[in-house]
C-alpha cells in the first residue's frame, strides 16, 4: 500500500498504469463521497477537486478507449477529446439501448467516436444517428452485452478500457463479471440524501456464505494502491478478486 501527501501526474501514470498484457483490461474511474454518494445535486462535479481532475485526465490518457453511457456523455457535454502533444485522444464509446441521443450532440460524428448499441434499438433512431455521421456497433440483442463490447473493442486493438460512467453502466459491467479494476476517488465529505452509488441498478446474486472471505462477498475487490492528498482526497486502485471457489472454501471456519 502506497501513501503520499500529494499526487503528481507522473506518480499517477506509474502507480495506476494498466497491466502489461495484450489481454483486455476493463477499468472504471469514479468518484464517491465517504458515504458512497456518486452525485451532489445530480452531478459528480461538486465532489471533485484538482487532484480528482488530474486522476480523471491521467486515466483517460492511459486508456485506448473511454466508455460512457450516452445520456451521461450528453449531460456532461463530452466531446471527442484531445490530449497534449502528439498523443491521439482515446476512442470514445457511447452506449445506448434506446439510441435516444439528441440530434445536436455532434460528438457522435467524430472519427474516434463509436456508439455501442443492440439489435433491438429502434430502427428510426439508428437511421437518424447514422445520417448524422455516427458509427454504430451492435453488441447484443436487448442490451449492450459488456463482454461482447469488450471483445469487439479488443478486436480493434483497444484493450485498455476505461469506463467513466455512469453508475448504471458500471453496474452492468460489474454484474457481467468483466470489471477488472476500479480507480476510486473518495471525496472527503458526507452527502446524505438519496444520491445513487457509483454502481447502481443491475444486481448481483448472493454467494455461498460458507465460503471464506473475500469469496463470500458479492463482488470481492482488493485495494492495491491508496494515495492521499493534502485536501483529504483518497485515490484508490481496487482490483477484482476472481472466483476461486475451491481455494476460497472455508474448511476450518468458525
Ligand atoms: N461519481 C461519478 O464518478 C460519476 C460518473 C459518471 C456519472 N455520474 C453521475 O451519474 C448520473 C447518471 O447516472 P446513470 O446511472 O443514469 O448513468 P449511466 O450509467 O450513464 O446510464 C444511463 C446511460 O447509459 C446507457 N446505458 C446504461 N446501461 C446500459 C447498458 N447495459 N447497455 C447499454 N446502454 C446502457 C443508457 O442508455 P439507454 O437508456 O438508451 O440504454 C443511458 O444513455 C449523473 O448524475 C452523472 O453526473 C457520476
Are the C-beta atoms of 190 and 247 separated by less than 8 Å? no
CATH code matching the domain that covers 65-158, chosen among 3.40.430.10, 3.30.1330.120, 1.20.1420.20, 3.40.50.720: 3.40.430.10
- In tens digits, the chain (254 residues) has pLDDT values of 445 557 788 989 999 999 999 999 999 999 999 999 999 999 999 999 999 999 999 999 999 999 999 999 998 889 887 655 557 789 999 999 999 999 889 999 999 999 999 999 999 999 999 999 999 999 999 999 999 999 999 999 999 999 998 999 999 999 999 999 999 999 999 999 999 999 999 889 899 999 999 999 999 999 999 999 989 999 999 999 997 654 444 433 33
Give the pLDDT confidence score for residue 5 in this predicted structure. Answer: 59
Give the pLDDT confidence score for residue 248 in this predicted structure. Answer: 41
Among 196, 189, 130, which Cα is nearest to 165's? 196
Are the C-beta atoms of 129 and 102 separated by less than 8 Å? no
Give the pLDDT confidence score for residue 249 in this predicted structure. Answer: 41
Give the pLDDT confidence score for residue 186 in this predicted structure. Answer: 98
* pTM listed for this prediction: 0.93
Pocket (CB within 6 angstroms of ligand 1) = 30-32, 38-39, 42-44, 69-72, 75, 95-98, 100, 143-144, 165-169, 172, 198, 200
Residue nearest to atom 10 of ligand 1 (CA): 166
196 alpha carbon to ligand 1 midpoint, in Å? 11
CATH code matching the domain that covers 1-15+22-63+168-191+218-241, chosen among 1.10.150.120, 3.20.20.70, 3.30.70.20, 3.40.430.10: 3.40.430.10
Q: Do domains 1-15+22-63+168-191+218-241 and 65-158 have the same CATH topology?
A: yes
List CB contacts of 132: < 8 A, sequence separation 6 or more: 103, 106, 108, 109
Cα distance between residue 234 and residue 227, in whole Å: 6
CB-side neighbour CA atoms (13 Å) of 230: 2
Name residue, grid cell 460524428. 109
Give the pLDDT confidence score for residue 82 in this predicted structure. Answer: 60
Give the pLDDT confidence score for residue 1 in this predicted structure. Answer: 46
Among 10, 59, 5, 3, which Cα is nearest to 30's? 59
Taking the domains of the chain in order of start, what are their residue ranges? Answer: 1-15+22-63+168-191+218-241, 65-158
Amino acid at each position: 500500500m502506497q501513501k503520499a501527501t500529494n499526487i503528481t501526474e507522473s506518480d499517477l501514470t506509474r502507480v495506476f498504469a494498466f497491466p502489461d498484457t495484450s489481454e483486455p483490461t476493463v477499468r472504471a474511474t469514479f468518484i464517491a463521497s465517504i458515504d458512497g454518494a456518486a452525485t451532489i445535486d445530480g452531478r459528480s462535479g461538486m465532489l471533485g477537486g484538482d487532484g480528482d481532475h488530474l486522476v480523471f485526465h491521467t486515466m483517460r490518457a492511459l486508456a485506448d478507449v473511454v466508455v460512457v453511457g450516452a445520456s451521461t456523455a450528453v449531460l456532461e457535454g463530452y466531446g471527442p477529446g484531445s490530449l497534449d502533444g502528439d498523443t491521439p485522444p482515446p476512442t470514445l464509446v457511447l452506449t445506448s439501448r434506446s439510441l435516444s441521443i439528441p440530434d445536436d450532440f455532434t460528438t457522435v460524428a467524430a472519427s474516434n467516436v463509436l456508439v455501442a448499441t443492440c439489435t433491438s434499438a429502434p430502427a428510426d433512431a439508428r437511421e437518424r444517428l447514422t445520417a448524422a455521421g455516427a458509427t454504430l456497433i451492435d453488441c447484443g440483442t436487448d442490451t449492450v452485452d459488456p463482454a461482447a463490447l469488450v471483445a469487439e473493442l479488443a478486436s480493434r486493438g483497444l484493450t485498455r478500457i476505461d469506463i467513466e460512467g455512469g453508475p448504471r453502466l458500471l453496474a452492468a459491467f460489474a454484474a457481467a463479471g468483466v470489471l477488472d479494476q476500479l480507480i476510486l476517488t473518495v471525496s472527503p465529505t458526507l452527502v446524505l440524501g438519496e444520491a445513487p452509488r457509483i454502481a447502481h441498478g443491475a444486481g448481483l446474486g448472493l454467494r455461498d456464505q460458507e465460503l471464506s472471505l473475500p469469496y463470500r462477498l458479492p463482488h470481492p475487490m482488493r485495494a492495491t494502491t491508496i494515495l492521499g492528498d493534502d485536501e483529504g482526497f483518497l485515490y484508490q486502485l481496487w482490483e477484482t478478486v476472481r472466483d476461486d471457489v475451491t481455494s476460497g472454501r472455508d474448511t476450518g471456519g468458525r
